[in-house]
Amino acid sequence: MGDVSQLNEYEYIEGKERKSLLSKSLRPFALIFSSRTATVGFAIVSFWIIVSVFAPFLTPYSPTYQDWKAPNQGPSWNHPLGTDELGRDLWARLIYGARIVLVIFPVSSGLWLPGGTALWGVAMALLVGSTLGLISGYKGGWIDEIVMRLLDAMISIPVILLYLLLVAALGASAVNVVIAIAIVGAPGIARLVRGLTLDIKTRDYIRAAETRGESSLYIMFVEILPNTKGPIIIDAMLRVGYAVFAMGTLGFLGLGLPPPSPDWGSMVAKGREFILAGAPWAALWPSVAIASLVVGLNLLADGLREELTRYQ
């Protein structure tokens, strides 16, 4: 008897939560905190989000201010993490660097958009990938054949080659980094969405919409797309981690953001030259930062996926 009533209570709570907007918005957090892995990941990611949002209040230095009397120093009272080869404060560069990844997308010198460069990259990949996947899956026929063969070819190109070509050709800027992340990510998303679309397309409500005479655009974006969101959200979370990884790699190869901006990857590339001269700090901190953020994002995504599949 006890078991049954507990089960019913669970369903009851489920039903109640659907009514209240507040508890509905808290539900993802309940999900995160029910998994230890996800909680740790969430803590790491929140740390970086908080320091990047409040960056101007957390350091007296600007990320480009050069203290030419104190280059390549270790941690000290004035510079908590030390300075780089031009005497710039590493803590300031680190947290302003996190800002570019997570909070700000610098489109050009005077214009920036909210949402980090990595997030915009994933968003663009989602936009392109799910559009292609929807069209390919819903229309079928020769359109499907052509799109999928082209994507097959895209997927078989080594990713690093794509990066080299794209950004070496387009030049180093945040917009080009976003384009690179989007182009590399889109084929995978398109395949995922196509698979989901093929399944959803056979449902009765799609038949109903077709009988109503809805346009295929309406069916694709209003009827099918919202029903693919579950798997896509999980996939997108893993992709954010990968986008941060990609940004770092591009920066390290000299294809990231142009020099004065505090790009983690390029900080490592520059700092690497001074390691064997006895100044490891400039290479160490951004490496630690990028490694911890990527690991944090993956822990969060892995934990969430585990929790979700457990309930299913």
Which residue in the block uniquely carries the two structure tokens 């384009």?
Answer: 179
What tokens were used for 211? 């009988």
Residue-level length of the chain:
312
- Report the residue number, 223 or 271, with the smaller CB distance to other proteins: 271
CB 286 within 8 Å of CB 48: no
Nearer to other proteins, 139 or 272 (CB): 272
Annotate 61-80 with b (16+ C-beta within 10 A) or e (fewer): bebeebeeeebbbeeeeebe
Task: Name which of residues 253 to 292 contact other proteins (CB under 8 A).
Answer: 253-254, 265, 268-269, 272, 275-276, 278, 280, 283-284, 287-288, 290-291
The answer to whether residue 188 forms part of the interface with other proteins (CB under 8 A) is no
CB of 53 to other proteins, least distance (A): 24
Q: Tell me if 187 contacts other proteins by CB under 8 A.
A: no
Least distance in Å: CB of 212 to other proteins? 37
Is residue 107 at the binding interface for other proteins, with CB under 8 A as the rule?
no
Instruction: Name the phi and psi angles at 60, rounded to 5.
Output: -80, -15
Residue 254 in contact with residue 266, Cβ under 8 Å? yes
Asked if 43 is part of the footprint of other proteins (rule: CB under 8 A), the reply reads: no
Could you please report the per-residue DSSP string of 210-228?
A: HHHT--HHHIIIIIIGGGG
Residue ranges that bind other proteins, judged by CB under 8 A: 37, 149-150, 152-153, 156-161, 163-166, 168-171, 241, 245, 248-249, 252-254, 265, 268-269, 272, 275-276, 278, 280, 283-284, 287-288, 290-291, 294-295, 298-299, 302
